């Protein structure tokens, strides 16, 4: 997905060319239930490695899941993670992820 962002007026002119928009690619993971393949949420993953935790402020779009007694469950009933306050501790065999990670 391409997101266009405006640049301040001082940065618009570069030599004879005029740059009106900066293009930034959104790098997101789609987290799905391993049992039923339902989409659970979109997550902005920063850095390489496995998804061990999902920080709640980086979840950009929510789909189908429920929160019961500090457990995050898919609508099929499978436990996906444990709510730890500011993040969700993920159960590694309970979900799959697809998409790209942002490497900073």
Owning domain of residue 33: 28-99
pLDDT at residue number 26: 59
Placement of tokens 């993670």 in the chain? 81
Helices then strands, each counted (H, E), the chain: 0, 13
In a domain, 4, yes or no: no
Structurally, how many domains does the chain consist of? Answer: 1
DSSP annotation of 88: E
Pairs from 81-84 (Cβ < 8 Å, separation ≥ 24): 81/54, 84/53
Residues 6+ apart with CB under 8 A from 52: 89, 90, 92
pTM summary value: 0.70
The enclosing H or E element of 71 equals: strand 71-73
In a domain, 104, yes or no: no
In a domain, 83, yes or no: yes
pLDDT at residue number 33: 95
In a domain, 93, yes or no: yes
Please give the angle made by the CA atoms of 74, 78 and 83, to the nearest 5 degrees: 70
pLDDT in tens, the chain (104 residues): 444 444 444 444 444 444 333 334 457 899 999 999 999 999 998 888 899 999 999 999 999 999 999 999 999 999 999 999 999 999 999 999 998 888 76
In a domain, 13, yes or no: no
In a domain, 64, yes or no: yes
Please give the angle made by the CA atoms of 87, 67 and 91, to the nearest 5 degrees: 55
Q: What is the CA radius of gyration of the chain?
A: 18
């Amino acid at each position: 997905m391409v997101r266009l962002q405006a640049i301040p007026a001082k940065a618009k002119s570069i030599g004879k060319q005029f740059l009106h928009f900066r293009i930034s690619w959104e790098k997101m993971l789609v987290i799905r239930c391993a049992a039923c393949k339902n989409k659970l949420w979109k997550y902005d993953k920063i850095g390489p490695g496995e998804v061990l935790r999902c920080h709640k402020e980086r979840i950009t779009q929510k789909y189908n899941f429920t929160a019961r007694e500090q457990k995050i469950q898919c609508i099929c009933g499978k436990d996906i993670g444990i709510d730890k306050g500011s993040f969700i501790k993920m159960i590694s065999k309970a979900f799959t992820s697809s998409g790209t990670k942002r490497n900073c």
